[in-house]
Amino acid sequence: MNFDLNKSIALLKRTPPALETLLNDLDEDWLYGQEGENTWSPYVVMGHLIHSEKTNWIPRLEIILSSREEMTFGAFDRFAQLNDYKDQTINELTAEFKARRNKSIEALQAKNLNAEDFSKTAFHPQLGAVNLKQLLATWTVHDLTHMAQIVRVMAKQYTAEVGPWKQNLSILRDRS
């Protein structure tokens, strides 16, 4: 499948309400469970999605589209959510993610991007040259990655409870 802006936006719009439907008002055992020491609970993943929305996608898009000399992305704090998002309810987190995402999509659509824009590049501190199309595809895949993580971590809370079925449920062995 080739990158397509509208197909990406269709997914980017759906992930916040899908997560809201899945997580709102859910019991704490599901929301705070982890899959090992120093791994992220569904609650922490929601904080990471919000932090990414604030500091990553549209800010990096702006850097790529700018004509500044120094077009290198700033450092991204992969752990900010551990400090910034710990006192909110899960419903507050899903609502903030959805509101920020809707604003991001408005900002994205307001750019009226064309084919030339998609091949504009900037420098990622670890990965080197990346272009706008790759940034937007990565944004989409990043949503899906963290949805997969959320449901995987929830599944693992029942590892002991499924008994003999464990051998048929490979999700329980992923990332172990």
Residue ranges that bind a copy of itself, judged by CB under 8 A: 1-4, 7, 10-11, 14-15, 17-19, 21-22, 26-27, 29-30, 33, 124, 127-131, 133-134, 137-138, 140-142, 144-145, 147-148, 151-152, 154-155, 157-158, 161-165, 167-172, 174
CB of 81 to a copy of itself, least distance (A): 17
Dihedral of CA atoms 14, 15, 20, 23 in degrees, nearest 10, equals 140
Decide whether 81 or 149 has the Cβ nearer to a copy of itself. Answer: 149
- The 8-class DSSP code of residue 173 comes to G
Decide whether 36 or 163 has the Cβ nearer to a copy of itself. Answer: 163
Residue-wise DSSP of 142-172? HHHHHHHHHHHHHHHTTTTTTGGGGGG-GGG
Decide whether 87 or 173 has the Cβ nearer to a copy of itself. Answer: 173
Task: Return d(Cα 92, Cα 9) in angstroms, integer.
Answer: 23
